[in-house]
C-alpha cells in the first residue's frame, strides 16, 4: 500500500507545482527543481502513510480473527445436551 500511496502523492505534488508555476506565469524550467523535490518529499510521505495504513488494517484484521477464534473455541468447550430445568 505504501508504494501505491507514493505513486499517487509524488506525481500529484509535481503536477501541483507545475500548475502553480503556469498559473502565476512563471517559467517551468526555473521551477523544475522545486517540482522534483516536491515529488520526492510527497512520495516519501505517501510511502510512510501507506505503510502505516497497511499496518493498521492488518492489525485490525488480526484482532478480529483472534476474537472470532476465541469465541469459536469458547463455544466448543460449552457443555452440550443439558436442558434447562
Grid cell digits, residue 85: 430445568
What is the 8-class DSSP label of residue 81? S
How far is the C-alpha of 38 from the C-alpha of 73, rounded, in Å?
Answer: 52
Burial 1-30 (b: 16+ CB within 10 A, else e): bbeebbeebbeebbeebbeebeeeeeeeee
pLDDT for position 84: 53
Q: Using an 8 Å Cβ cutoff, are 13 and 20 in contact?
A: no
pLDDT for position 72: 86
pLDDT for position 83: 54
Summarize the confidence of residues 40-63 as an average pLDDT.
95
Amino acid at each position: 500500500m505504501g508504494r501505491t500511496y507514493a505513486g499517487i502523492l509524488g506525481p500529484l505534488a509535481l503536477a501541483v507545482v507545475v500548475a502553480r508555476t503556469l498559473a502565476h506565469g512563471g517559467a517551468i524550467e526555473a521551477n523544475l527543481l522545486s517540482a522534483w523535490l516536491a515529488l520526492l518529499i510527497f512520495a516519501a510521505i505517501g510511502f510512510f502513510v501507506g505503510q502505516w495504513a497497511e499496518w493498521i488494517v492488518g492489525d485490525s484484521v488480526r484482532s478480529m480473527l483472534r476474537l472470532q477464534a476465541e469465541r469459536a473455541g469458547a463455544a466448543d468447550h460449552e457443555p452440550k445436551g443439558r436442558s434447562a430445568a
